[in-house]
Amino acid sequence: MRKTQQRTAILEEIRKRKDHPTAYDIYHTVREFLPNISLGTVYRNLEMLSREGIIRSVDTGGEQKRFDADTTDHPHFRCLSCGRVDDLPPDLMKQTLNAAGKNLGDRVVCGVNLEYVGLCRECAARQRFLKERDN
Ligand SMILES: [Zn+2]
Ligand SMILES: [Zn+2]
């Protein structure tokens, strides 16, 4: 019963978020109403949910594994400064898939892991990146 409750809380939390949280991010929120939960439990549940295909883990070059409640194919943008991961329009992925299909000969392409990296809006603004670029 307790296990089900933990799993449900973790799943609900990840479905609420668009920022591709790490296990720690989820733990930080969920322990507010499940004070006895451990980081290990959160991590194991996230691993299990992604093995079952209910959520997915994001293939990023980032240091910490991030999780996504959206299991459809879509590209990500990872900020090299703060580490946040945002969704990008699926069209970008379709274009890449089409291009790949033309160039990969008789291989069978089933999907693509596409990650753009750079600076998110907030970090770019902070570093005056946009201002300098537009000058
Ligand atoms: Zn950032
Ligand atoms: Zn995503």
Confidence of residue 127 (pLDDT cuts 50, 70, 90): confident
pLDDT over 80 (residue 133)? no
pLDDT over 70 (residue 130)? no
State the virtual CA torsion across 70, 75, 80, 81 in degrees, nearest 10. Answer: -50
Alpha carbon of 56 to ligand 2 centroid (Å) = 9
Alpha carbon of 15 to ligand 2 centroid (Å) = 11
Angle at 89 between CA 83 and CA 91, to 5 degrees: 135
CATH number of 72-135: 3.30.1490.190
**Separation between Cα atoms, residue 83 and residue 8, nearest integer Å:** 27
Alpha carbon of 60 to ligand 1 centroid (Å) = 15
Supply 11's token pair.
């799943």
Q: Give the start-to-end residue ranges of the domains of the chain.
A: 1-71, 72-135
Displacement of CA 18 from its chain's centroid (Å):
8
What's the mean pLDDT in 67-94? 89
What's the whole-model pTM score?
0.78
* Neighbouring residues of the ion ligand 1, judged by CB less than 5 Å: 79, 81-82, 120, 123
Q: Kindly identify the ligand whose nearest atom is closest to the C-alpha of 19.
A: 2
Strand residues in the chain grouped as ranges (E): 56-58, 66-68, 76-79, 85-87, 115-118
Q: Kindly identify the ligand whose nearest atom is closest to the C-alpha of 89.
A: 2
**Separation between Cα atoms, residue 13 and residue 70, nearest integer Å:** 13
Q: Kindly identify the ligand whose nearest atom is closest to the C-alpha of 86.
A: 2
Per-residue confidence (pLDDT) for residue 69, from 0 to 100? 95
Confidence of residue 129 (pLDDT cuts 50, 70, 90): low
CATH number of 1-71: 1.10.10.10
Alpha carbon of 79 to ligand 2 centroid (Å) = 13
How many Cβ atoms are within 10 Å of 117's Cβ, its own excluded? 13
Tell me the per-residue pLDDT of 7-34, one tens digit each, with 9 for 90 and over: 999 999 999 998 899 999 999 999 999 9
3-state secondary structure of 26: helix
Alpha carbon of 49 to ligand 1 centroid (Å) = 27
